[in-house]
Amino acid sequence: MPKVTFQQTGTVIELENNSPLIDIEDQKNNELPFGCRNAACGTCAIDVIYGMENLTPKNEEEIDLLNILDMDGEKRRLACQCILHGDITIEPMN
Ligand code: FES
């Protein structure tokens, strides 16, 4: 199963392959906050330190909000829009 590692704390969470990253909520982990769950608020913004290739590409809604929030960048993602295909290391922005 793919692992999600929080860079700052070292917490490691395993999710099923092809799981939405938002499933982290089911693991009782509060290191990655979610708000709207719909690419509208930016609460779930993360930097992907390793493993960007193991997430689905950005969709239009994600790109639009990151631009509006002036949070665009190669590493920046909205966790609520990502599907996990392999190991990643992340750093939450909020
Ligand atoms: S939870 Fe609001 S943008 Fe992801």
Please indicate whether residue 43, judged by its CB atom, sits closer than 6 Å to ligand 1: yes
Q: What is the pLDDT of residue 11?
A: 95
Q: What is the pLDDT of residue 73?
A: 83
Which CATH number covers residue 40? 3.10.20.30
Q: What is the pLDDT of residue 71?
A: 82
Helix (H) or strand (E) holding 62: helix 60-68
Q: Any residues with CB less than 8 A from the CB of 38 and at least 6 apart, and which? A: 61, 80
Q: What is the pLDDT of residue 57?
A: 96
Structural domains counted in the chain: 1
Q: What is the pLDDT of residue 5?
A: 97
Tens digit of each residue's pLDDT (9 = 90 or more) over 13-62: 999 999 999 999 888 778 999 999 999 999 999 999 999 999 999 999 99
Between the CA of 89 and the centroid of ligand 1 the distance, in Å, is: 19
Please indicate whether residue 40, judged by its CB atom, sits closer than 6 Å to ligand 1: yes
Range of the domain at 29: 3-92
